[in-house]
Amino acid sequence: MARITEDAWAAGETLAARLLPETGRGTLAFALAPEDILTLDRRAIRPLPPGRVQGNGSYTPNVDALIIGDLLLSWAHRDRLTQTSPVITDHTAASIGPEPRVRYSIEVRWIDPDTGIAILPAGIVIDAGLTSSWTLAPDDISETGAPYRTAEINVAVRSVRLVEGAWLSDREARWFRLTAPIAAGWDRGWGFLWGA
C-alpha cells in the first residue's frame, strides 16, 4: 500500500514510513508494521557515485597494494542528469558524462583496530579534480591522526558537487579495505603505532 503526496520537504526534515508487505495471506496490519524514520538529505541534487571503480586494474585489489607500492585508482563518470532511464546502469559500464560541476575526491578512513569499523570523518581527503584516475602513493597516507595501533584503512573514490556554497558528496561509495602503509612503519623504525 502506498500513499502518493504532492507535499514538499526540505533537507533535514524527517518523515515516518511504514512498509506493509502483501503476501498470499493478506497485507500486514498498519499497527504491526515497524515505523522507519527517514531524514531527508538532498539525495536528488547529490552526484551519482563513480562507476567501474578499480584499484590497480581490479575490482578487488591486493590488500597489501600500498605496502607493495602505489595504488592506481580508476573509475568511470556518471551523470544523474542524463541517467534518467528506469533501467539502472551496470557498475562496470563505461563513462556516462561527466556531469557538469562534478569533481572527484579520494577518501581514506582509518579502521578502528578494536571494532573493525571505519572512523568518520575521513582522515585524509585528496582532491582528484575532473580526472578519471589517480595514483595513490604510500607516502600520501600520513600517520597524523591515525588511531593507536591502526593497521587497516578504507579507500574510496567519491563524486562531489558544489551546491549553494556547500560540497555534497555521493550517497554511497565503493570502498577498498587495505593494509595501512603506516602499519609497516615499525619495520622502518618509526615506532609511532605502538608508542615506542
Whether the per-residue pLDDT at 192 is higher than 60: the answer is no
Q: Which residues pair with 133 in a beta bridge?
A: 74
Dig out the grid coordinates for 38 from the structure.
527517514
Dihedral-angle region of residue 43 (phi above 0 means left; psi in -120 to 50 means alpha; beta otherwise):
alpha
Q: State pLDDT tens for residues 103-137.
A: 999 999 999 999 999 999 999 999 999 999 999 99
**CB contact at 8 A, 136 and 15:** no
Which candidate, 37, 153, 152, 143, places its Cα nearest to that of 106? Answer: 153
| Its pTM surpasses 0.75 | no
Whether the per-residue pLDDT at 12 is higher than 70: the answer is no
**CB contact at 8 A, 19 and 33:** yes
Whether the per-residue pLDDT at 30 is higher than 90: the answer is no
Distance CA 157, CA 159 (A): 7
Looking at residue 166, its pLDDT comes to 85
Q: Give all domains of the chain, ordered by start, each with its CATH number.
A: 1-41 (no CATH), 47-188 (2.60.40.10)
Cell numbers 593494509: residue = 179
Looking at residue 186, its pLDDT comes to 39
pLDDT tier for residue 81 given thresholds of 50, 70 and 90: confident
Q: What is the mean pLDDT of residues 155-162?
A: 95
**CB contact at 8 A, 113 and 146:** no
Q: What is the mean pLDDT of residues 134-142?
A: 94
